Structures are given as C-alpha cells and as structure tokens.
C-alpha cells in the first residue's frame, strides 16, 4: 500500500477539529498517481513561520501556546481510539495553520495502527524524520504510542527556541537541538538564554519554564515513563487558562 493510500485510509476514519479534513482524492490517468485534496490552510505550515524568512515575528507567545495545546489534543485523540493510531512523523512541517493560526495535523502517510493485543509496542522499520524520531525506534525498531510523545517534546523545544531540531549550520555542539538544549530547560535563568529572540521577550517566563520542563518529560529515553498525550494536553490547557 502506498503512503497516499495509507493517508486516505486513516483520514477517512478520523474527525477532529485539529486534524486536516480530507475533501477528496483523484487519480491521474497518465501516471496513475493518487492525489489528495485537503481543506485550504491559509497560513501554510508551522515550519515556515518558525524557520522561514519571516519567522518569529508572526508567531507571538499566545499563538505558540495555542498551537502546542491543540496539537497535543489531536495526538491525544489518535492515541485514545479503540485501537490507537501512532502518527509516527510529528514535526513542524506536518502542522498546517488556518487563517486564525489554529493548527491541523496533516500527512498521515507514515501513520500506523498501535497494539491492540495488550502488548506495549509494535515492531517494524524505523520511520520518521531525523531529529524527531524516538530512540526506541532507531535502536530497537520498536514503536510505542509514546514514541509520538517524544516527537512532540522536540517540537515543544522548537517552539521555545525558534531553532530547528537538526541544523548542520550551527556549531557542532548545537546541531542536535535536543542534546544541546536539555541542560537549559529546567532552570529559568538558563532557559532565558535560549528562548527565541523573535519573541522579543514578550512571553511568560513562568509558562515557558513549565513547557520546558514538560518537554524534558516528553523526551525521557524510556517510553513508558513519558507522560501520555492526554496528560500533556491537559497540562498545556491549564497553562492557557491561567494566562
């Protein structure tokens, strides 16, 4: 089955305000390629707004917190189905934004059904994007529902810092964002040093520290001690309500 067929199969089963709507699909006669039609997302991808030429200024703190919260809710929805769906490729380029910057999760080509027989994981080839893939996928070929939680933790750090998960243009010790940023994430003063300058200091330091510490938990090396996406979503929603 092709990635496009996999995506159509999953999207046809899903209904959530923060998952992109499948409007239809068609097949070109010449190359028999199946094309997917999404709803139009006016603001493009989160990847563009964080790392593109006009990055930073267009994403104020409250917008970043909204995006993080609603994406956590989307993943929690996938994980709480009768048979969980593991998204497997959570990253900024798969987060699309509408005219109000409300996010939609897109690109289900690598999604996979999670375990339904009481086992904690499914096995298979390591799939996903370098810099976001959980360690258990890379080293043991084991895929847990909480492998998505790890990827979400990486995106949280990107939202805080405005830096890509992997960037060969940065100094050698800073090229892997997770590895470099972890020592800064649990101390308010240290965290301030790596916050996105595009925010121009206009953010809640209390909220930023809470999110940074949540990211640390999401990035635990062992999947079973990471929080669930339900817990992550509830934590972020509480932060929004108190802002």
pTM higher than the cut 0.95: no
**Is 96 exposed, middle or buried (CB count within 10 Å of its CB: 0-12, 13-18, 19+)?**
buried
Of 180, 172, 136, 187, nearest to 154 by C-alpha is: 180
From the list 82, 89, 98, 187, the catalytic residue is: 89
CA distances from residue 206 to 82, 188, 212, 243 in whole angstroms, order as listed: 36, 8, 10, 10
Q: What is the pLDDT of residue 103?
A: 98
The DSSP letter of residue 176 is B
Reported confidence tier of residue 56, pLDDT bands at 50, 70, 90: very low
Query: Catalytic site residue 82?
Result: no
Rounded Cα–Cα distance for residues 142 and 243 (Å): 38
158 alpha carbon, distance to own chain's centre? 10
Per-residue pLDDT tens for 201-230?
999 999 999 999 999 999 999 999 999 999
Instruction: Indicate the fold that domain 41-241 takes in CATH.
Output: Transferase(Phosphotransferase); domain 1 (1.10.510)
């Amino acid at each position: 089955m092709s990635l496009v067929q996999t995506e159509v199969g999953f999207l046809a089963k899903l209904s959530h305000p923060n998952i992109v709507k499948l409007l239809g699909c068609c097949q070109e006669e010449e190359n028999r390629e199946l094309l997917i039609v999404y709803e139009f997302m006016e603001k493009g991808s989160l990847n563009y707004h964080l790392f593109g030429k006009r990055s930073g200024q267009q994403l104020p703190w409250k917008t970043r917190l909204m995006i993080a919260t609603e994406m956590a809710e989307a993943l929690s929805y996938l994980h709480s189905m009768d048979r969980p769906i593991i998204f497997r490729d959570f990253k900024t380029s798969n987060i699309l934004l509408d005219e109000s910057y409300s996010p939609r999760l897109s690109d289900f080509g690598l999604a996979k059904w999670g375990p339904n027989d009481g086992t904690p994981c499914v096995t298979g080839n390591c799939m996903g994007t370098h810099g976001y893939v959980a360690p258990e996928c890379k080293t043991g070929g084991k895929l847990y529902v909480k492998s998505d939680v790890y990827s979400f933790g990486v995106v949280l750090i990107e939202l805080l810092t405005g830096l890509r998960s992997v960037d060969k243009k940065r100094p050698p010790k800073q090229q892997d964002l997770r590895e470099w940023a972890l020592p800064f994430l649990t101390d308010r003063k240290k965290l301030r040093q790596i916050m996105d300058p595009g925010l121009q200091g206009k953010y809640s330091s209390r909220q930023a520290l809470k999110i940074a510490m949540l990211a640390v938990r999401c990035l635990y090396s062992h999947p079973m001690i990471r929080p669930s996406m339900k817990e992550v979503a509830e934590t972020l929603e509480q932060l929004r309500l108190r802002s």
